[in-house]
Amino acid sequence: MGIKELIARREGENYELHRGYLNPFFVRVLEIIGYDVVYTRGEGAYLYDRDGNRYLDFLSGYGVFNLGRNHPAVKAALMEVLELDRPNLVQMDCPLLAGILAERLVRVAQRSFPGLDAVFFTNSGTEAVEGALKFARAVTGKPRFLHLEHSFHGLTLGSLSVNGDAYFREGFGELLPATAIPMNDLDALERELKRRDVACFIAEPIQGKGVYVPDDDFLPGAQALCRKYEALFILDEVQTGFGRTGRFFCGEHWGLSPDIVTVAKTLSGGYVPVGAIITRREIHRRVFRGLERAVVHSNTFGMNELAMAAGIAALEVIEEEGLVERAAELGARFMEGLKRLQDKHEMVADVRGKGLMLGIEFGPPRSLKLKAGWKSVESVKRGLFAQLIVMGLMREYRLLTQVSAHGVNIVKFLPPLVVREGDIDYALEALDGVLSEAHRFPGGIWGLAKDLVRGALGT
Ligand SMILES: Cc1ncc(COP(=O)(O)O)c(C=O)c1O
């Protein structure tokens, strides 16, 4: 049976299959928050369900879809590769498309970070981070890693060691030696670096979990301290890269010059998993030190033809459609709108971010009536208010968003960079609508709280 027929026959069984064979608890979570939709098609910034309803996707598959879904140029590149019956994964050869993508990645990376000129391909973001941590140890001969509180770099054991959230770390045993630094605390960073046992300091230029933006002097200061104490400075651009924040790489906002940059997500064009470590030749040479160690770090699928073709096409689309500039312009429009909402609604405590990576943080209300509502959800579990907003946006406006981390009242927006002005305005209207309801207690979206609280209590 062909895939088309298979899909046609079994569409709708999605959640039952996952309940049976994958993660039933995740299925339950989706049901509780009203995200248990059977999507049948994706195009650009939109998803469609079986009844033809359209959803606006401000989640972007956790930042994979800067180009939007099913971009025709990426699709065409992949179809061409399939038609050519390419000699894929020979392994003991040097595949052309990997060479071309590496050349192009170096070209774009150098516009942001002069000096980067060597690439290693991976299958995911976390694998890029794992590799980068290994590179840092190989180069410095030192064991310990520094990272930021609230950081997220993936969930394999190395990346988990530099994760700043106990939720992800708990229950998985002993990790690599690593120390968390509070964002903007250069003294704390220097104290740790002074111990001279640090291989690298790794940071997301804007944190995905919580959309925390560092003060302007922090990352440049951190970079200088790393140089002073001979530790590598690694910038994880897995989420912030490829135009997301209104610059090609987010580190450009501060004129940074990292030793290693990790990328993934959007490089896939939204189709074929791929990641990369971009670094300086001198660092690369200290890992792959000679003929004897030419294959000391490698993987099976890293340079596969489909991923490489997707990467090449994705980079071309970003340039041709001016997506970096688009992110800056539309991001400014979105941010202005969010600020207006902050002035209007008392529970909006903060709005922040850059380009089209934006967050809105909620805080306790002042008025007595609203306090009752806030307490009714927040006393059960911190962060439930933000979840209520996410639920309202979905149920009433078919707008996909997410709570930005565990136990926080922050909703994150990561629209595809191909989003239209009208979509941004619609999202702002939706937020205004849901927030207006949230500022009327009881009633409105507070009605959704019952399901949520029952879910949080596991009843
Ligand atoms: C900054 C950052 N680094 C690394 C990762 C891990 O990437 P992956 O999920 O492809 O392993 C993520 C994923 O969200 C990320 O946001």
Domain ranges of the chain: 33-67+323-456, 74-320
Q: Is the C-beta atom of 123 inside 6 A of ligand 1?
A: no
Instruction: Retrieve residue 227's tokens.
Output: 């140089």
Portion of the chain with pLDDT greater than 90, in percent = 92
- What pLDDT does 95 receive? 98
Q: 58, 65, 152, 385: which one is catalytic?
A: 152
Is 432 noted as a catalytic residue in this protein? Answer: no
- What pLDDT does 441 receive? 82
74-320 placed in CATH 3.40.640.10: yes
- What pLDDT does 52 receive? 96
Q: How many angstroms is it from 123 CA to the middle of ligand 1? A: 11
Question: In whole angstroms, what is the distance from residue 58 CA to residue 43 CA?
Answer: 13
Strands 54-57 and 399-400: parallel
pTM score of the predicted model: 0.97
Query: Which ligand 1 atom sits closest to the C-alpha of 154?
Result: 6
Task: Compute the mean pLDDT over every residue in the chain, rounded to the nearest whole number.
Answer: 96
- What pLDDT does 454 receive? 78
Question: In whole angstroms, what is the distance from residue 8 CA to residue 261 CA?
Answer: 42
Q: Does 339 have pLDDT greater than 70? A: yes
Residue among 59, 60, 265, 272 whose CB has most ligand 1 atoms within 8 A, to mutate? 265
Q: How many angstroms is it from 126 CA to the middle of ligand 1? A: 6
pLDDT tens digits for range 384-419: 999 999 999 999 999 999 999 999 999 999 999 999
CB 106 within 8 A of CB 117: yes
Domain 74-320 in the same topology as domain 33-67+323-456: no
Going by C-alpha positions, the residue among 418, 397, 62, 122 that lies closest to residue 277 is 122
Q: Does 432 have pLDDT greater than 90? A: yes
Q: How many angstroms is it from 6 CA to the middle of ligand 1? A: 31
Ranges of beta strands (E only) in 229-310 are 232-236, 260-263, 275-279
- What pLDDT does 158 receive? 98
pLDDT tens digits for range 228-277: 999 999 999 999 999 999 999 999 999 999 999 999 999 999 999 999 99
Q: Is the C-beta atom of 158 inside 6 A of ligand 1?
A: no
Q: Is the C-beta atom of 239 inside 6 A of ligand 1?
A: yes
Three-class secondary structure of residue 145 per DSSP: strand
- What pLDDT does 459 receive? 61
Query: Which ligand 1 atom sits closest to the C-alpha of 207?
Result: 1
Q: Is the C-beta atom of 131 inside 6 A of ligand 1?
A: no
Residue among 65, 152, 249, 263 whose CB has most ligand 1 atoms within 8 A, to mutate? 152
Considering the domain delimited by 33-67+323-456, tell me its CATH architecture: Alpha-Beta Complex (3.90)
Query: Which ligand 1 atom sits closest to the C-alpha of 127?
Result: 11
Mean pLDDT of 296-305: 98
pLDDT tens digits for range 161-207: 999 999 999 999 999 999 999 999 999 999 999 999 999 999 999 99
The CA-to-CA distance between both ends of the chain, in Å, stands at 41
Q: How many angstroms is it from 131 CA to the middle of ligand 1? A: 13
Going by C-alpha positions, the residue among 250, 139, 168 that lies closest to residue 203 is 250
Q: Is the C-beta atom of 412 inside 6 A of ligand 1?
A: no
Q: Is the C-beta atom of 405 inside 6 A of ligand 1?
A: no
Q: 165, 236, 259, 423: which one is catalytic?
A: 236
CB 199 within 8 A of CB 142: yes
